[in-house]
Structure 1
Amino acid sequence: MSRAMYCTGDTLITMGHQVDYIFGEYWQLRASVIPKRFTVPLQIPELIYSLAQKGKQYDVVEIHEPLAAPYCFNRKINQNLPPVVLFSHGLEKRNQLAELAYRRQKCLPVSLSLRFLRLTVLQAMYGLQNCDHVICLNSEDNGYLQQIGVDKNRITQVNNGVESQFLLAGEILAPASLSRSGILFLGSWVLRKGTLDLVPAISQVMQHHPSLQFTIAGCGFDADTVLADFAEDIRSRIQIIPKISNNEELIEIYRQHSILVLPSYFEGQPLTMFEAAAMGLAIVTTNICGMADFIENGINGITVSVGDVESLTQSLDHLVENQTLARSLGEAARQKVQAYTWESAGEKIAKAYEKAIQSNKKHLSSKLGLTH
């Protein structure tokens, strides 16, 4: 998420705007026994007040969806606070519903907080209803926002972009794609990323193909922890890379593989998908969220239903056996992703900011009894 914020921020700066990241150099948390995830939302309004007193005035404030409620509440009290744009990288309520459905599908335990009450969801829902504008990343989120009563004129759907480094590396690599093989999973080793389905699927494919290599990168856990989920007879062919430090390292990882697997039950719009597409990998993912907006099944990738281990296994097995098809899907994805630039994303975000500013001006004018 932070990478996306910096990439769009760079674009906005190029367009002539001034952008500050309050989670960076300005952020100073007070000592508290309360977990930071709960104190941060409460401190955002105070931080904006403090910066204003120091002469730092903002035209608009962008806040991540689960953190926006206290700021939106404070704006009702003090309308001199800048208008707020709520940015959702995957709606909290939809994430809750997706996890609940997935756990029931897999007969996993369901906590009371998941079923009835989740503080981040309550904060997010309040923010969505009371912010000046909402930015979301996929058409399913857009539709849900309208379903819960958010005016479509207060919604901007933005696509994530891909950095030029990946596009250039993919262009150079395309003629040599015959030399690539192996399957890559790139992401945190958590339930939401589909690890429960990935383990049996990839295990079966690796049993079918004794020379197949599989990489789990950026997982956030050490090798022993992740490998414990797999049978001993295939562990030697699984490479674990807990952390990735820079784009050069990431590009080298993509370069070594022909297939990306992303079986998440919920996402916003994963950067991994666009980067893999830029590098010409064939993508196997679920038919939901931002993946469904980009992947056309059988044309520039393969999609399967959430939790469908059999289809996931068959799709991966088919691509391993048919590298010509894998290259064809990868090349189609590489061509399509050329249009997904951070410049385009930044322009849409700037327009969303302007809509929030103009909406706030109209609201203040009406409160003062002024006419335009």
Structure 2
Amino acid sequence: MHLAFLTPEYPHAASTTSGGLGTSIKNLTQELVLKGVEVSIIIYGQKRNQTFTEGNIHFYLVKQKNYKFGGWYFYRKFLQNFLNRLAEKEKIDLIEAADWTGITAFMNIKKPLVLRLHGSDTYFCTLEGRKQKWKNRWFERNALKNADRIISVSEFAGKKTMQLFGINTGFKVIPNAVNLKKFTAEDENIDPDQLLYFGSLLRKKGVLELASIFNSVVEKRPSTTLTVLGKDVKDARENTSTLELYRNLLSAKAIKNFTYLGEMQYEQVKFQLAKAAVIVLPSFAEAFPMTWLEAMAMGKALVTSNIGWAPEIMINGKTGFTEHPEDHDNYATKILKLLGNPDLRREMGVNARKKVCHEFSSEIIASKNISFYESVLKQTDN
């Protein structure tokens, strides 16, 4: 079986910046290759065209093309023709794409097309209460209707997406996965006072709420520190740095105990994860967050949000605590409970890793995907 993945991002030095979407695809495809599946990855919107094979995966970086008029349509048709030629030449059996901005809208793909719901622009705009470009919604709806089959990374994201677009098409839930060999549990050199947030600095990630939460924590436990890792993104509402908005919300005590380390390579992120006593991820909008899985895989106690997708990953009171990001006092109370109880942190960290091992390991999730792809190919052959 030869599978192709069409994506705007993938974590590789040759491509542009990647986030959780790219990481989830990398975790899946690397495991698929280990299970004997041939994989091609087409990364569109790139700075240059480039083709190479690495780790038994075939990479096709496709340069972004500019058009005087109708670029949204003509670039999609360009990608359509590229995919169809590649599929015929390399004997690709099935193509998968992500739902973000409906890249496969108006495409006529000659192979079975699977669309995976990682969280569309429509989905995130709704969860954030943010205005959306009408074209993105149009593209995403067309892409959904155009797909042969649909996968969602969570039950919540799948149901919400279908509701938003008024589509009754069924979908298969296959969650994101984490590579357990790369993220291992470590219980040494932990700073008992350190909190850690990692991920892009975005309003939707609850970063601004985290300022008020941290203020409350420091007021009750002055020795507590907070380290933040991730790219500073311009806030869509205020049109300014999210980091600066965050800093302006910190109390005089809290700002002294706050450290921003910016973007880091994976190994550095893992080092910071290992040091932290508690991981804080108060997001408002996710589909099935990789950051949560990675922290859990490292045996860390988490305090996350309790919205929508959260119960599909976290078990409140067992793998950590969940709380609404806007409930600052209760969120802070749960952080303080973990900081003050090393045995509870250790117990929840063990439970968190066990859950990931049993449900979200790359090996388990890859096998589920292979079964799904085989069912799609069998159905389309009949």
For Structure 1 versus Structure 2, the TM-score category normalised by the shorter chain is: 0.7 to 0.9
Q: CA deviation at 1:46?
A: 2.6
Query: Which residue matches 1:327?
Result: 346
- Higher-Rg structure is 1
TM-score, normalised relative to structure 2? 0.78
Structure 1 position 128 matched with structure 2 position 147: no
**Residue pair 2:215, 2:250 contacting (<8 A) in 1 also:** yes
Query: Which residue matches 1:207?
Result: 219
Give unmatched runs, 5+ long, in structure 1. 101-109, 363-372
Q: CA deviation at 1:52?
A: 4.9
Structure 1 position 187 matched with structure 2 position 203: no
Q: CA deviation at 1:65?
A: 0.5
Q: What is the one-letter code of the residue matched to 1:143?
A: K
Query: Which residue matches 1:142?
Result: 158
Q: CA deviation at 1:241?
A: 1.6
What is the aligned-residue RMSD (CA, Å)? 2.8
Distance 1:40 1:329 in 2: 48
TM-score, normalised relative to structure 1? 0.80
Structure 1 position 74 matched with structure 2 position 107: yes
231-240 vs 329-338, which deviates more?
A: 231-240
Q: CA deviation at 1:35?
A: 11
Give unmatched runs, 5+ long, in structure 2. 1-20, 44-58, 234-240
Structure 1 position 263 matched with structure 2 position 282: yes
Distance 1:303 1:13 in 2: 35
Query: Which residue matches 2:324?
Result: 305
> CA, structure 1 residues 40+220, in 2 after alignment: closer, same or farther (shift >3 Å)?
farther
The counterpart of 1:62, out of the listed 96, 104, 114, is 96
The counterpart of 1:15, out of the listed 24, 27, 35, is 35
Distance 2:70 2:251 in 1: 37
Query: Which residue matches 1:369?
Result: none
341-350 vs 305-314, which deviates more?
A: 305-314
**Residue pair 1:285, 1:303 contacting (<8 A) in 2 also:** yes
Question: Which secondary structure state, in structure 1, belongs to the residue aligned with residue 181 of structure 2?
Answer: helix
Q: Could you report, residue by residue, the CA deviation over 1:131-184 in whole angstroms, capped at 9, with x for unpaired residues?
A: 0111111121233356544443xx22112222233453x1xx23x477644111
Distance 2:194 2:345 in 1: 11
Percent same amino acid at aligned positions? 21
Q: What is the one-letter code of the residue matched to 1:27?
A: V
Larger helix fraction of residues: 1
Question: Which secondary structure state, in structure 1, belongs to the residue aligned with residue 32 of structure 2?
Answer: helix
Question: Which secondary structure state, in structure 2, belongs to the residue aligned with residue 73 of structure 1?
Answer: coil
Structure 1 position 164 matched with structure 2 position 180: yes
Larger relative contact order (C-alpha < 8 A, sep ≥ 6)? 1
Query: Which residue matches 1:90?
Result: 119
Query: Which residue matches 1:294?
Result: 313
Query: Which residue matches 2:7?
Result: none
